[in-house]
């Protein structure tokens, strides 16, 4: 997973993360907004290099899904179409896709939430005192994907960062 994190840091330092659609275009991907309905969360179309997101999502959620889709673009281009995990798929695809989804989540988390900045935040008094600092931290990093923030905190522990 370390190479995923390093790539996220490298891209953020090189291009910045203020405008993720612009960032995507610099990496050869295009972000398209199309209503996806309730079941499918995100789509990455490999042949077109297109990340499809639902226009009705919260702006922070969009940021998260663009970052997530970028990971598929950068690391998983051998997949045909990526969509919300479907457990009816055969076992092999199920496990393969599960790993790729996890990689995409780690990439998104580290792209949007720089670990040094997060660690700085975690040392602040209010974080230590708050029973649930996650919503405020999510706001701070413009990423409402709370799971991602959790993951980063967890991974920070795992890697001793
Ligand atoms: Zn995905």
Share above pLDDT 90 across residues of the chain, in percent, rounded to a whole number: 28
Determine the Cα–Cα distance for residues 67 and 65; give it in Å rounded to an integer. Answer: 5
| Residue 84 CA to ligand 1 centre (angstroms) | 7
Determine whether 48 is exposed, middle or buried from the number of CB atoms within 10 Å of its CB (0-12, 13-18, 19+). exposed
**What confidence tens digit (pLDDT) does each residue in 66-77 have?**
999 999 999 988
**Can you tell me the mean pLDDT for 96-122?**
83
Ligand 1 center–CA 65 separation, angstroms = 8
Q: Is the pLDDT of residue 131 over 60?
A: yes
Distance 131 CA to ligand 1 centre (A): 31
115: tokens are 């670990």
Secondary structure, 3-state, the chain: CHHHHHHHHHHHHHHCCCCHHHHHHHCCCEEEECCCCCCCCCEEECCCCEEEECCCCCHHHHHHHHHHHHHHHHHCCCCCEECCCCCCCCHHHHHHHHHHHHHHHHHHHHHHCCHHHHHHHHCCHHHHHCCCCHHHHHHHCCCCCHHHHHHHHHHHHHHCC
Beta strand 43-45 with 30-33: parallel, antiparallel or unpaired? unpaired
94 alpha carbon – ligand 1 mean position (Å)? 12
Question: Residues lining ligand 1 (ion), CB within 5 A?
Answer: 82, 101, 104
pLDDT of residue 20: 96
Q: What is the mean pLDDT of the chain?
A: 80
* Confidence category of residue 160, pLDDT binned at 50, 70, 90: very low
Cα(83) to ligand 1 centroid in Å equals: 6
What would the mean pLDDT of 43-48 be, rounded to a whole number?
A: 84
Q: Residues 75-103: pLDDT tens digits? A: 988 765 555 444 444 555 555 667 888 88
């Amino acid at each position: 997973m370390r190479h995923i994190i390093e790539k996220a840091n490298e891209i953020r330092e090189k291009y910045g993360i203020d405008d993720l659609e612009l960032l995507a275009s610099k990496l050869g991907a295009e972000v398209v907004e199309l209503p996806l309905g309730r079941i499918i969360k995100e789509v990455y179309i490999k042949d077109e290099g297109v990340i499809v997101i639902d226009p009705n999502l919260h702006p922070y959620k969009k940021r998260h899904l663009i970052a997530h889709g970028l990971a598929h673009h950068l690391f998983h281009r051998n997949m045909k179409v990526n969509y919300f995990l479907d457990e009816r798929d055969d076992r092999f695809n199920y496990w393969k896709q599960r790993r790729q989804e996890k990689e995409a989540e780690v990439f998104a988390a580290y792209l949007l939430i720089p670990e040094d900045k997060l660690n700085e935040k975690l040392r602040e008094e209010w974080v230590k005192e708050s029973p649930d600092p996650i919503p405020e931290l999510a706001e701070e990093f413009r990423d409402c994907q709370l799971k991602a923030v959790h993951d980063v905190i967890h991974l920070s522990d795992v890697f001793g960062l």
